[in-house]
Amino acid sequence: MRCQYCGYMDSRVIDSRPTEESTSIRRRRECMRCGRRFTTYEKIEMTPVMVVKKDMRREVFAPEKIKIGLMLACQKRPVSVKEIDAIVEKVEKAVYSSGEDEISSRRIGELVMEELKKRDEVAYVRFASVYRQFTDVGSFMEELNKLVIENKLRADPGENKP
């Protein structure tokens, strides 16, 4: 593994451990020339899953696109990069464990929103507004009203029973 600081090709592994979702191995390495330490990740090479877009185009599933979307939705929100990475890992795991060769972009978006809603409702609404392409205030308010109703049900599940 090439040292990111001096470019030397020889390093030794100091520590190895699985990531939280156990989808990769995190390795701490030390360069044999300059002695500086750096982190690498080892991941199983997965069979590519194709994403079917709304216009029926297909492209290879790219988790980094999910992370970019989440970073934008979570800007200036109390959602850490670690939490964003955890969402990406969870969605990636769901995509690959489905066993399908193709998955719709709609399903991926739903998986992301499901996880984001649990962590930060404002970031969820931001993501949903782009993902669902809200075209007016009415569609935006409709989504907000759904959140308000869900929160009321969670707060007192027995209150809304007949």
Which range is least confidently modeled, 72-76, 117-121, 126-130, 132-136?
Answer: 132-136
Q: What is the pLDDT of residue 159?
A: 55
- Residue with tokens 């060769």, as numbered in its chain: 101
pLDDT of 62: 94
Q: Does 75 or 156 have the greater pLDDT score?
A: 75
Q: State the CB neighbour count (10 A cutoff) for residue 90.
A: 17
The values of phi and psi at residue 12, to 5°, are -120, 150
What confidence category does residue 158 fall into, taking pLDDT thresholds of 50, 70 and 90?
low
**By percentage, how much of the chain surpasses pLDDT 90?**
62
How many whole angstroms separate alpha carbon 159 and alpha carbon 86?
Answer: 34
pLDDT band at 34 (very low <50, low <70, confident <90, very high): very high
Residue 145 pLDDT? 84
CA–CA separation, 4 vs 33, rounded Å? Answer: 12
Where do the structural domains in the chain lie, given as residue ranges?
A: 11-43, 50-131
Edge-first strand listing for the sheet containing 50-52: 58-60, 50-52, 102-104
Q: What is the pLDDT of residues 86-126, one digit of tens each?
A: 999 999 999 998 889 999 999 999 999 999 999 998 999 88
Is residue 148 scored above 80 in pLDDT?
yes
pTM passes above 0.75: no
Task: Report the percentage of the chain scoring pLDDT > 70.
Answer: 96
**pLDDT averaged over every residue in the chain:** 89
